[in-house]
Chains A and B, each alone.
Chain A
Amino acid sequence: AQTVTQSQPEMSVQEAETVTLSCTYDTSESDYYLFWYKQPPSRQMILVIRQEAYKQQNATENRFSVNFQKAAKSFSLKISDSQLGDAAMYFCAYNQGGKLIFGQGTELSVKP
């Protein structure tokens, strides 16, 4: 069974600093998608970044970037220049066969 593991239940970062959230997954497939979603207190799920497994280049979206290590099945999210609005639950998710499977989540707090 495919699983997604986020080993950091909580993380904290100082405003303007950089933080990295970790995620590992387990799969026997070679072609799949990985996602990071943000869930603020409103509970609306917001796509942060997406990575296609067949692409070796790490995805980047403004202050958000990933470190995708396919062999190690690792997919970490780096947030640069953290802002107060980045405070939220962050979920790593794996897609295969149409289903989106989520990790346990990491609650990120940003200190002013």
Chain B
Amino acid sequence: GAVVSQHPSWVICKSGTSVKIECRSLDFQATTMFWYRQFPKQSLMLMATSNEGSKATYEQGVEKDKFLINHASLTLSTLTVTSAHPEDSSFYICSAIWTGPNYGYTFGSGTRLTVV
């Protein structure tokens, strides 16, 4: 149980276009999901907390208008990188809280975004 599916695994887009990344909880309801960004050889940096049915809470320094988060259902959160630029190229990972037995966090497999 507690499986999170993230798509796409990798995406290449042109500068100025928008890209949407999906994060789905497959076998449980995820009231809260998280989005992280990770640069090579670095740690995961929390970008925002996504709550079903309400606005996302962004961490300090994260541009809300560039990284649009929608959590319209208990099983789906999306991250849209708007007007992408090469500096947005990174590895993005979603996560959800698992409140069942063995409380913890489960992660998607990540999305490698390359903006050219």
**A-contact bits for B77-116, CB 8 A (1 contact / 0 none):** 0000000000000010101010000111111011000000
Which residue from chain B places its CB closest to the CB of A95 in the assembled complex? B105
Set of chain A residues within 8 Å of B106, measured between Cβ atoms: 47
Interface residues of B in 21-73 (CB under 8 A from A): 32, 34, 38, 41-44, 46, 49
B contact residues around A102 at 8 Å (CB): 43-44
A-B contact count (CB 8 A): 46
Q: Which of B34, B43, B91, B103 contacts A43 (CB 8 A)?
A: B91
Instruction: Tell whether, in the assembled complex, residue B107 and residue A45 are in contact, meaning their CB atoms are under 8 Å apart.
Output: yes
Whether A105 lies near B46 (C-beta < 8 A) is: no
Partner of A101, one of B42, B46, B95: B46
Select which of A35, A45, A50, A99 is within 8 A of B46 by beta carbon: A99
In the assembled complex, A98 has its CB within 8 A of some CB on chain B: yes
Q: Mark A87-106, 1 if CB is under 8 A from B, else 0.
A: 00001010100111111110
User: Does A105 contact B42, Cβ atoms closer than 8 Å?
Assistant: yes
- Alpha-carbon distance A45/B106, docked complex (angstroms): 8
A105 touches B43 (CB 8 A): yes
CA distance A33 to B105 in the complex (A): 11
Cβ contacts under 8 Å, A43 to chain B: 38, 91, 93, 109-110
What is the chain A residue whose CB lies nearest that of B59? A99
B interface list, Cβ under 8 A from A: 32, 34, 38, 41-44, 46, 49, 91, 93, 95, 97, 102-107, 109-110
B-contacting residues of A (Cβ < 8 Å)? 33, 35, 42-45, 47, 50, 91, 93, 95, 98-105, 107
